[in-house]
Every structure is written in structure tokens, then in C-alpha cells.
């Protein structure tokens, strides 16, 4: 056997199935051996006392996305993927956003152009379909799915993105025919509008009222509607960013009926609450936490854990959607002071997703290491068709994160690499930290520093399903 390029020695190798103390041998970017003891490697990493986990896959991130007049997203592909690498990830899945009335294929090409040559971790693109016109449904969408863009997101809210029920059914029908997976943002447009207008009439316009304008009922109703439409058309769907008990129970109900309904949740729904949206001393400070769906009541965290433990959720993603706080092109946009309705929706989280799940889940004894690996990597690869990704096995890409399971860290903006100027988890204490991230056999982040190069991350082409 020719010499290994790299041997990772002495760590505990964890997959979704098991844990075993073993060396990992890597050649040409792939795992070629897992054994008790491997000899003959050009380079070695001593992983004694560390866990070797599959590199994190974050299948729901927004990067460099067009975000409305005068609003700029805080991350480009370089900063977002550098932050991802530092946070133990080796692959992220952002969206190519189709603006209504424009070509979906051109959107895909434009976002690929933004990513090309700039990424520190691998990237596989989803699409956002905002325009269910005959040309999109009849030609563009089927041909893009055939080209390997096998997942896309649709919205049940937002003026510029919302699809009507008929359009949702039409899009689901294309997905069924072409074998694509539809990710659904479940919040009901009309109910949110009704509540927003009423709150504004009452002068309740501070960031906190964002949460009041989008209560759990609104998410539950939309989740039920999306599930019903999916059943009607007989197509699998992924309900993204489930925030609390109400929507979680809709998913559980659908799964119990045998429907192919997948679900995702995110760190904000096990750690933050609607109270975080209240201005704390400083006017508009609650804007830092404005995201959709909004964080719920503290009791809701237990419901999300129930879903994580019972297998209602298959993926745990960040929904990274970063805006700078102290910036007129970000959370402090002048219009945002007139109403919560104009505060850009989204929070940064690409770098903190994994430590939060590890600490709150594994270190606190709520989930096993195997479940952590499933939720953070393996299931993302399986569901979105990422071959040779999401596990540590011979033949797989050598995408590995070495974790110190006992390391205590306090999340602070100053240690992060994202483009935002704050983190919603400032001061949050965790146990367990990713210390080295390896992409196709090359170290891309270690000891809190990003050491890879832009362009090392590839834009992956997926196979039609
Ligand atoms: N939905 C997302 O998935 N991300 C940010 C904002 C939103 O509404
Ligand atoms: Zn969404
Ligand atoms: Zn999102």
C-alpha cells in the first residue's frame, strides 16, 4: 500500500452508528483506512483525547443574498465559509435566490459566480423559487433539477416571496415529477399581515412585537397546510426551522400517518426566547434577535428537545442569515425604527451551531454522540444527496472535525469569524469545542484560526435523485 498522506492517530471515531478508538488513514483527500494502528503516513495528527466526527454539514444558510432595498447581508462566501470552517463544518448549503420575474437559472449562475474561488468549505446550492410562472414550472425548474439542483425552498410568507396555495401545489407537483425535495418556510402570510397591521395601529412597533406578529398558531396553520398539500400531491417535503411545540406536533402527526415529511430545527429554538427581542436598556437592541420564525417561550425548548430525541427532526441547521447590528444597512436600518416590520429578519449562527448542539445536547446528556452526528452531518448528506459526505468511512471524503469534548468556552463575538458585528449568544457557555477542521485531508481551521485558503472549498454538483 502506498504511503498515506495523513494519519489521524488515537482519536475516537464517531459515526451515526457507533464510536470506536481508531486511526484514520487518508490519501488523495479520501479516507482509505480505519484501523487500530496505521503506519507510514507523510503527516500525522495526534488526536489522543479527541473525538473525530464527520465534518459538520449545515444545510440551511443564507450567504450574500439580496436582502431588500438598502439592506446588505453581513457575509460574503469567503467570510461565511471561513466562519463555518472555524465552527467545525466542512460543507454548507446556501440558496440561490430567484427574484420574482427573473430567471431561476440566471440566479443559480449568479450565486455560483459569487461563490467560485472564495470558499473555505464545500458548498452545494439550493434554490429559492419565488416565481411559479409557466416558464419556471415548465422549463427552468425541471431542467435545473435534472442538472442536480435537487432541493429548493418556497415561502408561505413575505410580500416578495410568498406563493399562493395553488402555486405551492404546482411547485410540489414539479418536485414530485422531477424527484426534488421542497423545503417549506411555514408561516401564514395573511395572518401575519393582519396581526402586523393591528399592532402598528396600536403603536406597538418595537422589535419585540415581531414575535407577537408571528405566534406559533401562524406557524402551525402553515405547517398543516403545507403537509396537506404535500399529501395531496404525494411529494416529500422538508419543513425548515421548526420553532416550537405547535409545528413540531404537526410534523409528528404527519410522520405518524406515514407521510414523507422531514423537519429541521435550529439553535435559536433551544436557547433563545421571545423575551430576547425586548429592548434591553438600549433602544432597538431587540433587533439583534429578530428572525423568522421568532424564538418562542422558554417551555418551547423542551418541545424541540422532545422532537430531537424522538426523531421528529432529521436535521439541525443554523439558518445563518446575518446582518450587522450597528449599521444602517443592517438591523439599525432607519425604517426599522418606525416598525419591526422593516427590521431585516435573520441572525448569524454558522459558527456557533455545532458547539451549541454539542453542549446542550451531548454534554448535558440529552442526546448521544451518534444522534449528534446524525443531526449535524449524516442526515444532511443523506437527505440532500451529497455522496461521500457526512460519515467517516472508507471511500468517503476526508471531511473531519476533531472535537475536544471537555473544553469549556464562552461564545463571544471577538472569537468568531463571521461578518456580523455581534452574536446572539454573547456570553453563552459551552462544554465541547471543535479544535481542528479537516477538508478532504487538509487542515482548514485549527486552534481558533482559519488556515485554509479561499477556493479550497469546492462547489459541488449533485446527481439527480
Ligand atoms: N427564513 C429563513 O429561512 N431565514 C431567514 C429569514 C426567513 O424568513
Ligand atoms: Zn425561512
Ligand atoms: Zn433561512
Q: What is the mean pLDDT of each run of 10 residues along the chain (465 residues)?
A: 90 98 98 96 98 99 94 98 98 98 97 98 98 97 98 98 98 98 98 98 98 98 98 98 98 98 98 96 96 98 98 98 98 97 98 98 98 98 98 98 98 98 98 98 98 98 87
Q: Which three cell numbers stand for residue 428?
A: 453563552
Of the candidates 367, 448, 361, the one whose C-alpha atom is nearest the C-alpha of residue 409 is 448
Q: Is the Cβ atom of 434 under 6 angstroms away from ligand 1?
A: no
Nearest CA to ligand 1 atom 8: 292
Q: Which string of DSSP letters, residue by residue, matches 133-153?
A: -HHIIIIIHHHHHHTT--EEE
pLDDT of residue 1: 55
**Whether residue 319 has its Cβ less than 6 Å from ligand 1:** yes
Nearest CA to ligand 1 atom 1: 292
Confirm if 250 and 230 have CB atoms less than 8 A apart. Answer: no
DSSP code for 55: P
Phi, psi of 139 (to 5 degrees): -120, -60
As a CATH number, domain 56-363 is 3.20.20.140
Domain 4-54+389-453 part of CATH 2.30.40.10:
yes
To test the pocket of ligand 1, the residue of 346, 347, 348, 350 to mutate (highest count of ligand atoms within 8 Å of its CB) is: 346
Where in the sequence of the chain do the CATH 3.20.20.140 domains occur? 56-363
Give the integer Cα–Cα distance in Å for 425 and 185.
Answer: 24
- Tally helices (H) and strands (E) across the chain: 14, 19
Q: What is the pTM of this model?
A: 0.98
Beta strand ranges found along 107-219 (DSSP E):
122-123, 126-128, 151-155, 181-185
Which atom of ligand 1 lies closest to the CA of 292?
Answer: 8
Segments of the chain assigned to CATH 2.30.40.10: 4-54+389-453
The answer, yes or no, to whether any atom of ligand 1 lies below 6 A from the CB of 292, is: yes
Q: Name the closest-CA residue to atom 5, ligand 1.
A: 346
Amino acid at each position: 500500500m502506498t504511503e498515506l498522506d495523513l494519519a489521524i492517530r488515537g482519536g475516537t471515531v464517531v459515526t451515526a452508528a457507533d464510536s470506536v478508538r481508531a486511526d484514520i488513514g487518508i490519501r488523495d483527500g479520501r479516507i482509505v483506512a480505519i484501523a487500530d494502528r496505521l503506519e507510514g503516513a507523510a503527516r500525522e495528527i495526534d488526536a489522543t483525547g479527541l473525538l473525530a466526527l464527520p465534518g459538520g454539514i449545515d444545510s440551511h444558510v443564507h450567504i450574500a443574498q439580496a436582502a431588500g432595498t438598502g439592506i446588505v447581508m453581513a457575509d460574503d462566501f469567503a467570510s461565511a465559509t471561513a466562519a463555518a470552517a472555524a465552527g467545525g463544518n466542512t460543507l454548507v448549503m446556501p440558496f440561490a435566490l430567484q427574484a420574482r420575474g427573473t430567471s431561476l437559472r440566471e440566479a443559480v449562475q449568479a450565486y455560483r459566480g459569487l461563490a467560485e474561488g472564495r470558499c473555505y468549505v464545500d458548498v452545494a446550492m439550493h434554490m429559492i423559487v419565488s416565481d411559479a410562472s409557466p416558464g419556471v414550472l415548465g422549463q427552468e425548474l425541471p431542467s435545473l433539477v435534472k442538472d442536480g439542483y435537487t432541493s429548493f425552498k418556497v415561502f408561505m410568507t413575505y410580500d416578495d416571496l410568498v406563493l399562493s396555495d395553488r402555486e405551492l401545489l404546482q411547485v410540489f407537483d414539479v418536485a414530485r415529477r422531477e424527484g426534488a425535495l421542497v423545503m417549506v418556510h411555514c408561516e401564514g402570510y395573511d395572518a401575519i399581515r393582519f396581526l402586523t397591521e393591528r399592532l402598528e395601529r396600536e403603536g406597538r412597533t418595537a422589535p419585540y412585537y415581531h414575535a407577537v406578529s408571528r405566534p406559533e398558531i401562524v406557524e402551525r396553520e402553515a405547517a398543516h397546510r403545507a403537509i396537506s398539500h404535500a399529501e395531496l400531491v404525494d411529494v416529500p417535503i422538508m419543513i425548515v426551522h421548526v420553532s416550537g411545540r405547535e409545528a413540531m406536533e404537526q410534523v409528528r402527526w404527519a410522520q405518524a400517518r406515514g407521510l414523507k415529511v422531514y423537519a429541521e430545527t435550529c439553535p435559536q429554538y433551544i436557547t433563545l426566547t421571545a423575551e430576547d427581542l425586548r429592548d434591553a436598556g438600549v433602544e432597538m437592541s431587540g433587533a439583534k434577535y429578530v428572525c423568522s420564525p421568532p424564538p418562542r417561550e422558554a417551555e418551547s425548548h423542551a418541545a424541540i428537545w422532545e422532537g430531537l430525541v424522538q426523531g421528529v427532526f432529521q436535521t439541525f441547521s443554523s439558518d445563518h442569515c446575518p446582518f450587522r447590528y450597528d449599521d444602517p444597512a443592517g438591523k439599525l436600518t432607519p425604517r426599522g425604527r418606525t416598525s419591526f416590520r422593516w427590521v431585516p429578519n435573520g441572525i448569524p449562527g454558522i459558527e456557533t451551531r455545532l458547539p451549541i448542539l454539542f453542549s446542550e445536547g451531548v454534554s448535558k446528556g440529552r442526546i448521544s454522540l451518534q444522534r449528534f452526528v446524525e443531526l449535524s452531518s449524516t442526515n444532511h448528506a443523506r437527505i440532500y444527496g451529497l455522496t461521500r459526505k457526512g460519515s467517516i468511512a472508507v471511500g468517503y471524503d476526508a471531511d473531519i472535525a476533531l472535537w475536544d469534548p471537555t473544553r469549556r468556552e464562552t461564545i463571544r463575538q471577538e472569537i468568531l469569524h463571521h461578518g456580523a458585528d455581534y452574536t446572539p449568544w454573547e456570553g453563552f457557555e459551552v462544554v465541547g469545542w471543535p479544535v481542528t477542521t479537516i477538508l478532504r485531508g487538509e487542515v482548514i481551521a485549527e486552534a481558533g484560526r482559519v488556515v485554509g485558503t479561499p477556493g479550497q472549498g469546492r462547489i459541488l454538483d449533485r446527481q439527480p435523485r
